[in-house]
Amino acid sequence: MIELKNLTKRFGDIVAVNRLTLFVPEGEIFGFIGPNGAGKTTTLRMMGGVIAPTEGSVIIDAIPMAENPENAKKRIGFIPDRPFLYEKLTGKEFLRFTADLYGLDDGLFYKRSERILKQFSLDQWADDLIESYSHGMKQRLIISAAILHDPKVIVVDEPMVGLDPAGVRMVKGLFRNLAKKGTTIFMSTHTLAVAEDVCDRIGIIHKGSLIATGTVEELRLRAQVQEGDLEEVFLILTEGESVP
Amino acid sequence: MKEVFALLKPRFLSFKNRSISGSLRGRKLRFLVFGTFGLLFWGGTFSIFYRVLIYFQGLEAFGDILAYKLLSMVLITFFSLLIFSGILTSLSKLYLSRDLSLVHSMPVSREKIFLSRWIESTIDSSWMVLIYSLPFFLPYGLVYKGGAFYYAMLGVNLLPFCLIASSLSSLIVMAAAMFLPAGRIRSVFIFLGLLLFLLIILSFRLIRPERFVRPESFIPVVLYLRDLETSHSPFLPTTWFFDSLRAALSGCMGSAFFNSALSWSCAITMIFVATWVSGAFYFKGLSKAQIAPKRLFFLFSAKRARYGIFTNLFSGPARAFVVKEIKTFIRDQTQWSQIFLVVALIVIYLYNFSVLPMDRGPIKMEYLQNLISFLNMGLAAFVLSAVSARFVFPAVSVEGDAFWIVKSSPVSIRTFLWIKFFVYFLPLLLLSELLIVLTNVLLHVTPFMMVLSVVTVFLMVPGIISMGIGLGAIYPDFQSENPAQSVTSLGGLIYMTLCIGFIASVIVLEAGPVYHIFMTGIRHVRLSGIQWLWLVTSFSLVLFLCVMALLIPMRLGEKRIHQYEMGH
């Protein structure tokens, strides 16, 4: 469903993402973890079609992003780490704006937006300006907008930031349900417990390169750790890589 | 086109929803004040231009040449303004807007994103130029009796004129974005624009229009103007617009329509070309724009900068704020171009004094010199207020989202505000004194007037700076993307009004006693007892006023910042 081939991004002399190759099948929740500045957000922005790769390609549902960006993006629900929202729009107006761009007709929009706003406990605030929303409410609204068009792929950067425990549980449940129905989820996170809890497979990126992929068990084997959580595995793998 | 309109919707809805949020009263007041000023300016320009055209019409032989030459110059000026304004707005809309990530993650083609941004940019960059171009165009119809046909052709030509300029601007920006990071382009274009503006002012000043006071220098100008009636390049949009209007004024409908058809065909072609270019290059440029621009100069890098002597005056935490203030100010390149503009305008200001034809005036020279010097104190203080409105008033707002650092730091708000005060006070005091001393030297004023000017300015500067810092703290805008624009807010307006009131009060208080001192000096008599009393009372009041202007705004600002809660 998601295919990254030799994906590379350079900013001047800095190589942010270096020849990243990866395949994520349909219905899988893939966790993308790495230290600060490892290249996670840059990878996700290339996957979302927000920036162009210097080399390599992003293929979503067999559609190359570089050649057919509109069709590829139609299949994605993109949730950035620092989402921009039009503060002077109401929550409902923002969803309408998203729906218009994804080509949802009026009937489908009303049906889905009502359901999603209720699901995310935003129905009472739907007609209030976004500027009056709390950080968590804004995060829930941006997730609502991303799933409104029923995407085949969700690309999400730090989904749990700003959410309260109930919100975190709700989003985890949502991702599991969507994955069960066949949606592929590519999730970048620093919250290793969430990655361990939700993700089917995890990829570790460090200094722009993918250094390991697999289930938590496979990563544990790779790090030669008998017991211990993902945090320990992560630290061993990334520290090992940083030794010259 | 459905997607293009959908992309424009947030702008429209945000505009519509403005009434739901924020202070409606403040906005109404601002609208009223700026609207009144705008209307007065519009009306003033219209009446001056109308009179100029009437005067030209009365000049035999070359009156019409002058009027048409003026029209052609107006068109070129407005076209340049439209292009410059278009470059800045399209740069911001296409490459720097905060919603770009959101918009580009949507399943919409780049051409459509470009078109929606271009439409926004065209409207934003053209509306004000359009409104203020009307007082120049409308009088032609009245003076030369163009009738309804002239006004219709004006409308028909203005639209493609704006569309061509806006398309050209977006093409320039897209080309520049292929080579430069977007943040750097803005600095470069602002700098080039200011340079152009200054060249225009300088060239105008170097013509020395004051020479027209001398009738003997008028004849060569008349001869020169006779040679002006030359044709323009047939490939310029300004020529088509000019030819169309000229034809409309002289009743040649065919030529008027033909030239506007040229404008329209060019506009449509330009839009098509810009859209096509956007498909090929816009996204590439946008991806490049993500690279943070490298610093232009490392002159002020942490290792090399030496603020020792100045910063040693402060304790640890206060010193940290002082160093931060100086470094952030110096490293913000948007400040440089404006400092450059301020310096250039001051040079022109001084140049004006050096060429004043005072010996040709009907008033006695010594009297005139000292009168101008006295009024110059007010003028210099006003220049300082304008500079402060741009740099000092936004000094608190410029903390932006980082204001929590100030609130949570072990430095009192009072210290924080006084640091801000001194950072701006020292350079601005130096600037004002330099200005006043140099102009007085150029005017050859009496020693008394020199001392009076230096002392008065020394007393006024702290008040003006304090009002800037204090009112900036009373009306902070930590959410603004560009705090420099906070001067156009209600607080900025109150600041300028108070400054003018303060300067006028000082000048008025000093005017009476200074006049008497000066006249007794000329007449070689002594001041009377009442005059002495008047003098002491006036100067004591000036001192009191200056001390109050220094202390009250800082106190009020401190109080307001204490009450301010982040996120509200």
Same domain, B445 and B510: yes
Encoded tokens for B441? 């030297």
pLDDT for B391: 84
pLDDT for B313: 65
Q: Is the pLDDT of residue B464 over 90?
A: yes
Number of domains forming the structure of chain B:
2
**Chain A residues close to B292, C-beta within 8 Å:** 11
In tens, the pLDDT along B334-359 reads: 666 667 767 777 777 777 777 666 66
Report, as an integer, the average pLDDT of B202-231.
55
* Residue B462 and residue B543 in contact, taking contact as beta carbons nearer than 8 Å: no
Same domain, B260 and B363: no
Report, as an integer, the average pLDDT of B379-384.
86
CA-nearest residue of chain A to B100? A50
Q: Is the pLDDT of residue A243 over 50?
A: no
pLDDT for B275: 94
| Residues B361, B415: Cα–Cα separation, whole Å | 51
Report if residue B459 sits inside a domain.
Answer: yes
Q: Tell me which of B296 and B473 has the higher pLDDT.
A: B473
In tens, the pLDDT along A189-209 reads: 877 788 888 899 999 888 888
**Chain A residues close to B108, C-beta within 8 Å:** 70, 73, 101
Burial of A217 (0-12, 13-18, 19+ CB in 10 A): exposed
Same domain, B323 and B429: yes
Of B254, B289, B324, the last residue of a domain is B289
Q: Does B178 touch chain A (CB under 8 A)?
A: no
Q: Is the pLDDT of residue B251 over 60?
A: yes
Q: Is the pLDDT of residue B258 over 90?
A: yes
In tens, the pLDDT along A102-130 reads: 888 888 889 899 999 998 889 898 888 88
Nearest chain A Cα distance for residue B385, angstroms: 34
CA B92 to chain centre: 19
Report if residue B521 sits inside a domain.
Answer: yes
DSSP A130: G
| Residues A2, A13: Cα–Cα separation, whole Å | 28
Report, as an integer, the average pLDDT of B499-527.
85
**Chain B residues close to A96, C-beta within 8 Å:** 9
Of B273, B289, B305, the last residue of a domain is B289
Nearest chain A Cα distance for residue B10, angstroms: 7
| Residues B376, B370: Cα–Cα separation, whole Å | 9
In tens, the pLDDT along A128-151 reads: 888 888 888 888 899 999 999 899
Report if residue B21 sits inside a domain.
Answer: no
From A72, A83, A93, residue closest to B13, measured CB to CB: A93
Report if residue B114 sits inside a domain.
Answer: yes
Same domain, B404 and B284: no
Q: How many CA atoms lie within 13 A of A16 on its CB side?
A: 21
DSSP letters of A98-126? HHHHTT--HHHHHHHHHHHHHHTT-GGGT
Q: Does B19 touch chain A (CB under 8 A)?
A: no
pLDDT for B521: 76
Neighbour tally for B567: CB within 10 Å: 8
In tens, the pLDDT along B538-549 reads: 999 999 999 999
Same domain, B278 and B335: no
**Chain B residues close to A72, C-beta within 8 Å:** 107
| Residues B159, B547: Cα–Cα separation, whole Å | 54
Q: Tell me which of A46 and B566 has the higher pLDDT.
A: A46
Q: Is the pLDDT of residue B217 over 60?
A: no
- pLDDT grade, residue A7 (50/70/90)? very high
Asked if the Cβ–Cβ distance from B287 to A51 is below 8 Å, we say yes
Residue A161: closest CA among A118, A194, A204, A210: A194
Report if residue B177 sits inside a domain.
Answer: yes
Using beta carbons and an 8 Å cutoff, which residues of A are at the interface with B?
A: 11-12, 45, 48-52, 69-74, 76, 78, 80, 83-90, 93-94, 96-98, 100-103, 129, 131-132
| Residues A72, A51: Cα–Cα separation, whole Å | 14
Q: Tell me which of B488 and B53 has the higher pLDDT.
A: B53
From A85, A90, A101, residue closest to B108, measured CB to CB: A101
| Residues B179, B177: Cα–Cα separation, whole Å | 5
| Residues B141, B137: Cα–Cα separation, whole Å | 7
| Residues B391, B98: Cα–Cα separation, whole Å | 25
- pLDDT grade, residue B244 (50/70/90)? very high
- Domain residue extents for chain A: 1-75+151-228+238-242, 85-150
* Residue A190 and residue A158 in contact, taking contact as beta carbons nearer than 8 Å: yes
| Residues A199, A234: Cα–Cα separation, whole Å | 15
Asked if the Cβ–Cβ distance from A80 to B290 is below 8 Å, we say no
Asked if the Cβ–Cβ distance from A101 to B6 is below 8 Å, we say yes
**Chain A residues close to B110, C-beta within 8 Å:** 69
In tens, the pLDDT along B133-181 reads: 899 899 998 888 888 899 999 999 999 999 999 999 999 888 888 877 7
Q: Is the pLDDT of residue B321 over 60?
A: yes
**Highest mean pLDDT: which range of A210-224, B260-274, B406-420:** B260-274
Q: Is the pLDDT of residue B404 over 50?
A: yes
**Chain A residues close to B284, C-beta within 8 Å:** 52
CA-nearest residue of chain B to A86? B10
Same domain, B114 and B247: yes
Nearest chain B Cα distance for residue A229, angstroms: 35
Report if residue B224 sits inside a domain.
Answer: no
Per DSSP, chain B holds a count of helices (H) and strands (E) of 20, 0
Report if residue B221 sits inside a domain.
Answer: no
Mutate which of A7, A46, A95, A100 to disrupt the B interface (most B C-beta within 10 Å)? A100
Q: Is the pLDDT of residue A244 over 50?
A: no
Q: Is the pLDDT of residue B401 over 90?
A: no
Same domain, B205 and B328: no
Asked if the Cβ–Cβ distance from B21 to A73 is below 8 Å, we say no
From B3, B283, B292, residue closest to A52, measured CB to CB: B283
- pLDDT grade, residue B300 (50/70/90)? very low
Report if residue B203 sits inside a domain.
Answer: yes
**Chain A residues close to B286, C-beta within 8 Å:** 51
In degrees to the nearest 10, what's the CA dihedral of B385, B391, B393, B394? 160
Q: Is the pLDDT of residue B420 over 70?
A: yes
From B3, B17, B105, residue closest to A48, measured CB to CB: B105
Same domain, B427 and B357: yes
Nearest chain A Cα distance for residue B315, angstroms: 35
| Residues B70, B5: Cα–Cα separation, whole Å | 40
Which ranges constitute the DSSP H helices of B278-315? 283-289, 308-311
Same domain, B279 and B420: no
Residue B170: closest CA among B12, B47, B282: B282
Residue A28: closest CA among A129, A136, A154, A128: A154
- Interface predicted TM-score (ipTM) of this complex, two decimals: 0.74
Which ranges constitute the DSSP H helices of B144-181? 147-177
pLDDT for B182: 66
pLDDT for B118: 93
Range of the domain at B363: 315-563
CATH number assigned to the domain with residue range A1-75+151-228+238-242, chosen from the 4 options 3.40.1830.10, 3.40.50.150, 3.40.640.10, 3.40.50.300 = 3.40.50.300
Asked if the Cβ–Cβ distance from B106 to A103 is below 8 Å, we say no
Residue B354: closest CA among B467, B440, B247: B440
Asked if the Cβ–Cβ distance from B7 to A101 is below 8 Å, we say yes
Mutate which of B18, B287, B480, B566 to disrupt the A interface (most A C-beta within 10 Å)? B287
| Residues A42, A51: Cα–Cα separation, whole Å | 8
The residues, any chain, with a CB within 8 Å of residue B499's CB and separated by 6 or more, are B381, B382, B385, B388, B389, B464, B467
DSSP letters of B392-440? TGGGTGGGGGGHHHHHHSSS-HHHHHHHHHHHHHHHHHHHHHHHHHHHH
Q: What percent of chain B has pLDDT over 70?
A: 77
**Highest mean pLDDT: which range of B11-25, B332-346, B418-432:** B418-432
pLDDT for B302: 47
Q: Is the pLDDT of residue B96 over 90?
A: no
Asked if the Cβ–Cβ distance from B286 to A51 is below 8 Å, we say yes
Using CA atoms, how far residue B246 sits from A80, A242, B131, B492, in Å, is: 56, 74, 21, 43
